[in-house]
Amino acid sequence: MIISYIDRTNLSVALALPEFKQQFHLSDTDRGMLNSAFFWSYTLLQIPAGFLVDRYGVKSPYGIGFVLWSLVSAGTSFARSFEQLFALRLLLGVGESIVTPAGMRWIRFNVEERQRGMAVGMLFAGAKMGPALGAPLAALLIHFYGWRAMFLIIGLGALLWLIPWTTLVRDDDRQLEAAAAKASGLASVPFLSVFKTPIIWGILAGTFCYNYFVYFCMTWLPAYFVERRHLSLSSMGWYTFFTFSGMATVAILAGWWADRLITNGADAVTIRKRFTIAGFVVASTEVFGAMSPSNEVAIFFAILSLSGLGLATGNYWALTQTLMPGPAIGRIVGLQNFASNASGIVAPILTGWLKTTTGSYEAPMQAIWLILITGVCAYAFLVRKKYASLVGQPI
């Protein structure tokens, strides 16, 4: 997960370079398109990727996807035109589409409910540590070797992870699924039946809103720090590190805290909803920093708001596993991740358009606030325990 997010982030750092923009003759709209290209293919393939891991298990599909995206990331160093950059980002999305359905399926059949908050929090802490580590790493490699070498080193270097992956990971989740289904005695639930409940619509809307902010930070935050707050490339890398590492730390701690409350007898749905909504509320404070002329205030709220969203990270994903039927979890997670990464398409393009239209970053930041408040409403009013029975899920 960390490696996949480093490969998603490195282009954003390159796009903050004046010479990179000049070499490819990039406008703000072009930058928005390049930042969103990855999510076009990644988003469209989430449900097919979920089907693959439900059908063939986690290990082999994940390994094949890993090889593909690492080679594509390295291949970015040879791009010579906007069209080539765009095509490579589309291919990166194809390779990485397997990441979340596979990871969440493994957790569903290897981790008990009372421990899932921390497990999911740790998994998605990787999604935050990727940008946290990737931004300063990419900036450092660019400083010493240039942007082409940066893509090559990161892409080929990641292939070393295949050694422990193929050696240590078990290929037994299909057997665990069959044993769990036999022990429960419940009939299988058709995938399309999940659309009967308001829960899935609330989850999809809330997931889109959560990740709109995350993907703004992944794709435009480096440029915001450099262009609006006039930070150096090195300073930008470190502030991006603190922003995403803060979110990763809070995600793990919030998952552990929620698990502890559930273990002590608290209702799982209620606890995970409260953490999720609290995360959205804290994240909405980003608007205060965006409207401030002070760099110190802006940086403080950039770190606070994204770190605060970590309260929701492990819990909103664990909530899906609690409320939705297990045998279709790969496809359900694929559907949820479709909504998650649809925001990855919208956020970069809308940000680029708003910045071009208004000439500043204020309108994009205000849009984030409105979207986060919409996410609060989705989880408060649609994701409710009483609706789980509509898809035959006992709670």
- What are the distances in angstroms from CA 287 to CA 128, 214, 243, 281, 374? 21, 14, 15, 11, 15
Q: Report the alpha-carbon distance of residue 235 to residue 359 in Å, rounded.
A: 24
pLDDT score of 181 = 63
Residue given tokens 């790493």 in the structure block = 137
pLDDT score of 91 = 96
pLDDT score of 271 = 95
Q: Report the alpha-carbon distance of residue 327 to residue 191 in Å, rounded.
A: 9
Q: Report the alpha-carbon distance of residue 227 to residue 346 in Å, rounded.
A: 21
Q: Report the alpha-carbon distance of residue 105 to residue 327 in Å, rounded.
A: 10
In single-letter form, the type of residue at position 37 comes to A
Q: Which two tokens stand for residue 6?
A: 């480093």
Cβ proximity of 176 and 110 under 8 Å:
yes
Contacts for 56 with CB less than 8 Å, ≥ 6 apart: none
Q: Report the alpha-carbon distance of residue 378 to residue 260 in Å, rounded.
A: 26
Q: Report the alpha-carbon distance of residue 26 to residue 24 in Å, rounded.
A: 6
User: Taking the model in full, what pTM does it have?
Assistant: 0.72
Domain locations in the chain?
A: 2-166+193-385
Q: Report the alpha-carbon distance of residue 106 to residue 172 in Å, rounded.
A: 9
pLDDT score of 391 = 60
b/e sequence 335-359, b meaning 16+ C-beta within 10 Å: bbbbbbbbbbbbbbbbbbebbeeee
pLDDT score of 232 = 85
User: In a structure prediction context, what are the per-residue pLDDT tens digits for the chain, which is 395 residues long?
Assistant: 999 999 988 998 899 889 999 999 999 889 889 988 998 898 889 889 988 888 888 888 999 999 999 999 999 999 999 999 999 999 999 999 999 889 888 888 888 878 888 888 888 888 888 888 888 899 999 999 999 999 999 999 999 999 998 898 888 877 777 776 666 655 556 667 677 788 889 999 999 999 999 989 888 888 888 888 988 878 887 888 888 888 889 988 998 999 999 999 999 999 999 999 999 999 999 989 888 999 999 889 988 999 999 999 889 988 887 887 655 666 787 788 888 888 988 998 899 899 999 998 899 999 999 999 999 999 999 998 887 666 655 55
Q: Report the alpha-carbon distance of residue 104 to residue 121 in Å, rounded.
A: 11
CATH superfamily of 2-166+193-385: MFS general substrate transporter like domains (1.20.1250.20)
The alpha-carbon radius of gyration of the chain (Å, integer) is 20
Helices (DSSP H) in 220-267: which residue ranges?
221-223, 233-263
pLDDT score of 325 = 60
pLDDT score of 94 = 95
pLDDT score of 290 = 85
